[in-house]
Amino acid sequence: MRILADAYGLEASARGELVDAMLDRQTRNASWWRRRLGDPELRPDDGELIASRVEWSEREHACTSAHRSTFERALLVTRPLAR
């Protein structure tokens, strides 16, 4: 994350929003996949795949939440890009 933040030239103030954006995206991913489970055109094999994607997004969110302070500390360390 820090490498991407550095590459985009994000200032420290903008970096503070990245973890919230990650958590939001993970929540929305799980919700999007959960809605697909109600799709009337769902094939029998699709349900298991979609359920695994919901679970993945939820695990991803739990991990990001659990390690939030680590992500935030790492984002505050800026390094110049190698040229």
Task: Say what the pTM is.
Answer: 0.80
- Our count of domains for the chain comes to 1
Q: What angle do CA 39, 54, 72 make, to 5 degrees?
A: 140
- Asked if residue 49 is part of any domain, the answer here is yes
- Asked if residue 81 is part of any domain, the answer here is no
Q: Where on the phi/psi map is residue 9: left (φ > 0), alpha (ψ -120 to 50), or beta? A: left
- Do 17 and 71 touch, CB atoms closer than 8 A? no
- Asked if residue 83 is part of any domain, the answer here is no
Cα distance between residue 7 and residue 44, in whole Å: 43
Enclosing domain of residue 14: 2-76
Please give the average per-residue pLDDT across 7-21, as a whole number.
88
With cut-offs at 50, 70 and 90, classify the pLDDT of residue 3. confident
The residue among 13 and 51 whose pLDDT is bigger is 51
Percentage of residues in the chain having pLDDT higher than 70: 93
- Asked if residue 52 is part of any domain, the answer here is yes
